[in-house]
């Protein structure tokens, strides 16, 4: 069953911040576009296979790992809510799910 994908406002902002960080750091959009493309492709797969990610300690929340990125999401009956896209190279003290 294909489920709709919904991004939380926090997930949208944090993902945009990641893309912006690499754009500024690299002075090029190339890497940011690559990250964006890879994450969006992975999320399309999640729509078809929502149980692909690993379970977390929190109920109905799973995590899918792609390289240096973790996508935390919640499975709901009709949709998948993207809660957070985390670049694992960031300071772990800033991580809050």
DSSP string, 49-94: -GGGSEE-SSTTEEEEEETTEEEEEEE-SSEEEEEEEEETTS-GGG
Quickly tell me which residue has 């991004």 as its tokens. 7
Check which CATH number belongs to the domain holding 26 and give it: 3.30.2310.20
Tens of pLDDT, residues 12-53 = 999 999 999 999 999 999 999 999 999 999 999 999 999 999
Tens of pLDDT, residues 51-67 = 999 999 988 899 999 99
Alpha-helical regions (H) of the chain:
9-26, 30-48
Q: Which domain holds residue 39?
A: 4-89
95 in a domain, yes or no?
no
97 in a domain, yes or no?
no
pTM, entire model: 0.86
């Amino acid at each position: 069953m294909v489920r709709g994908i919904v991004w939380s406002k926090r997930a949208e902002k944090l993902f945009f911040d990641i893309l912006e960080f690499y754009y500024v750091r690299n002075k090029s959009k190339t890497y940011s576009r690559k990250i964006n493309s890879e994450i969006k492709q992975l999320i399309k797969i999640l729509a078809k296979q929502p149980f692909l990610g690993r379970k977390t300690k929190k109920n109905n929340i799973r995590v899918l790992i792609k390289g240096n990125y973790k996508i935390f999401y919640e499975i709901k009956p009709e949709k998948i809510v993207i809660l957070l896209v985390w670049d694992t190279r960031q300071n772990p003290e800033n991580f809050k799910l």
